[in-house]
Amino acid sequence: RVYIYAMEYEDDVSLPEATLSVVSVQGSGAGGRVFCRYTPRHTITLYTVPTPSLEEDNVTTDIHNIELNGIIWNSPTRKLVNQSHAFFMELQQMGGDKGVEPADVLKYSQLYRSALHECVLGLQKMIEEIDSGISEEGDEVTQLREQIELYSILEIAWHLCEVLFIETLPVGCLIQQLLEWVRWHDDHTDIMLRNVMNSSQPSEEPDYWKTIFSLVLQGRVKEVIEMLKHSPDCQKNRQVHNSIHELLRKMPMVKSVVGKSRAELRGEWHEWKHECKRRRERGDFVAYEQLEILSGILCGDEKCFREEEVVESCTTWYEMMVGRLLYCSPLILNTDYDLHFTAENCLQQHCDLEHLGSLDRILLTALQNNVIDVIKLSSSVLSNWWFVAHLANILHHRGILVTSQLEYGSKLTEFVLVEYASSLFYHPSLWQVGMDYLSHCPTQGRHYMIAFIERVPLQTEKKSQKVIRVCQQYGLTDQAHSICRVLARRAYGQGQFGNAL
């Protein structure tokens, strides 16, 4: 096995324990030598030489060309790159003197997000189209599943960043956007709902209350009301039914908040909550265990959020988090400590803190309003640069990414764009996209453009012309000349003296 590490070098760095990646190279047993060469296409070539003392039958003569943190190319990912390229270019043009209007930044954020969504759908379609006759999942399917997981994570994370950092929300709206966020990316609740309601006796279904709790935490009151119609408790006792029904119907936090001041919204919420408590204390639901829990949730009763059935109704910690915020601090702002605290709390209860996934870490960092850390973390835990390059850029346009306090601040957004652009040069046709991104990197872009443009293979006349044109477009005169010389030599070698001239 060959172990590949990547790290930054600073003054006292020592080789860390963590492995970056493991490539199994056949024949390279212990003591074998690994050689690598950096290649012109941003990959490394690996080969091994066993030490002379080892058995000769394990000699391997394989060469592997590997790419690190590149984008795995297929039709959906190519489309994502092309679409986001178009959005990126338009967004940069809109800069001007005063910067980009927040409403426009939001629009582009939504466009990027829809491109991500399309990518996920495209990848899912690819899996469906693979011959389902194969009993075991091949490598291709495994890789597609991994990509679906990645781009789904990116979609969820991007969406949250959009809600927290890009949207300009009136008071009371953040919770609604967070609810929308949870609902959009949730897949289990609708499935449960459909299954339960399709049954002849929904209330007999084991998932009946679980579904109700899940819906309540997502603020989907209308559907809760619908489901409760099937509850025998409600059917038998008209008063109970009316009581809970009214509370749900009148819940203010999920209604329109337009034009209302903070004080008004707070007043409405308190009034409603007061009424919930009153009815609960009056004993309206005391005879019915789950209704008692449900009403407790509406009151924001901590104990009820910890009830087993309620906890189990959430597949993710952030579903629970948003649910709690809805009933305990619905007027939350993205800078509020309550948001960070509740997030951490729910995370702790649902997850093993020692082994948090990339998504969990990114979401938590975003909920802690730590924009720079979101960028740094994304750079370190994700497996390609698409997300962090576009996010840093759009946050910069929104004026959120305040890097002036960092020593390397101005380089940060460029750094991630350069990394992303570099990963595009491996692809036969996306080098042009790479060049465009590099053209928006004022400090380092040119250096990378110069290094990469001459390495673009000149397979056809048409492509060669395109490469030369791009050189001219960016004022890369020396590179254009060099390319012409290569073409001339090639034409000369083929006896096309006219072309050579």
Partner 1 sequence: MAGVVNVQSSVDTEHDDMIHDAQLDYYGRRLATCSSDRTVKIFDVSGSSPVLLATLAGHEGPVWQVSWAHPKYGSILASCSYDRKVIIWKESNGTWNKLNEFCEHKSSVNSIQWAPHEWGLVLACASSDESFSILYTTGDGNWKYKRQESAHTLGCNAVSWAPAVNPGALLEGGSRAGSTTVKHLVTGGGDNLVKVWREEGDGWICEEKLEGHTDWVRDVAWAPSVGLPISRIASCSQDCKVIIWTRDENAGRKWISKVLNTFSDVIWHASWSITGDILAISGGDNKVTLWKESLEGGWVCVSEMDKGQQVKPTQ
Q: How far is the CB of 498 from partner 1 (least distance, A)?
A: 18
Interacting residues with partner 1 between 4 and 33 (CB under 8 A): 4-11, 13-16, 18-26, 28, 30-33
The pair of three-digit structure tokens given for residue 350, joined into one six-digit string: 């649902």
Please tell me what DSSP assigns to residue 71: P
Residue of 168, 195, 261, 477 interacting with partner 1 (CB under 8 A): 477
Tokens 């790159």 appear where? 81
The enclosing H or E element of 500 equals: helix 497-500
User: Are residues 311 and 320 in contact, defined by beta-carbon separation less than 8 angstroms?
Assistant: yes
Interacting residues with partner 1 between 344 and 403 (CB under 8 A): 358, 376, 379-385
Q: Looking at 36-44, 79-87, 200-208, 242-250, which segment touches partner 1 (CB under 8 A)?
A: 36-44
For 195-199, the CB contacts below 8 A with 24+ separation are: 196/227, 197/226, 197/227, 197/230
Interacting residues with partner 1 between 411 and 440 (CB under 8 A): 411-412, 415, 419, 422, 426
Q: Does 66 bind partner 1 (CB under 8 A)?
A: yes
- Cβ-based nearer residue to partner 1, 196 or 372: 372
What number of CA atoms fall less than 13 Å from residue 159's CA on the CB side?
A: 21
User: Are residues 196 and 205 in contact, defined by beta-carbon separation less than 8 angstroms?
Assistant: yes
Residue of 70, 172, 300, 434 interacting with partner 1 (CB under 8 A): 70
- Cβ-based nearer residue to partner 1, 313 or 384: 384
Residue of 53, 55, 57, 61 interacting with partner 1 (CB under 8 A): 61
Interacting residues with partner 1 between 200 and 259 (CB under 8 A): none
Q: How far is the CB of 494 from partner 1 (least distance, A)?
A: 8
Q: How far is the CB of 472 from partner 1 (least distance, A)?
A: 12
Residue of 270, 486, 496, 499 interacting with partner 1 (CB under 8 A): 486
Q: How far is the CB of 501 from partner 1 (least distance, A)?
A: 15
Q: What is the CA radius of gyration of the chain?
A: 28
Residue of 64, 78, 145, 440 interacting with partner 1 (CB under 8 A): 64
Interacting residues with partner 1 between 439 and 468 (CB under 8 A): 444, 446-448, 450-452, 454-458
Torsion of CA 183, 186, 191, 192, to 10 degrees: -80
The pair of three-digit structure tokens given for residue 417, joined into one six-digit string: 């764009």
Amino acid present at 476: L
Interacting residues with partner 1 between 41 and 60 (CB under 8 A): 41-51, 59
Distance CA 397, CA 376 (A): 18
Q: Looking at 76-84, 191-199, 291-299, 404-412, which segment touches partner 1 (CB under 8 A)?
A: 404-412
User: Are residues 93 and 58 in contact, defined by beta-carbon separation less than 8 angstroms?
Assistant: no
The pair of three-digit structure tokens given for residue 351, joined into one six-digit string: 């997850």
Q: Looking at 63-71, 101-109, 130-138, 393-401, which segment touches partner 1 (CB under 8 A)?
A: 63-71
- Cβ-based nearer residue to partner 1, 36 or 106: 36
Residue of 75, 478, 496, 497 interacting with partner 1 (CB under 8 A): 478
Tokens 């759009």 appear where? 394
Tokens 């960016």 appear where? 474
State the Cα angle at 443 between 100 and 6, rounded to 5°. 105
Closest CA to 53 of 31, 86, 81: 31
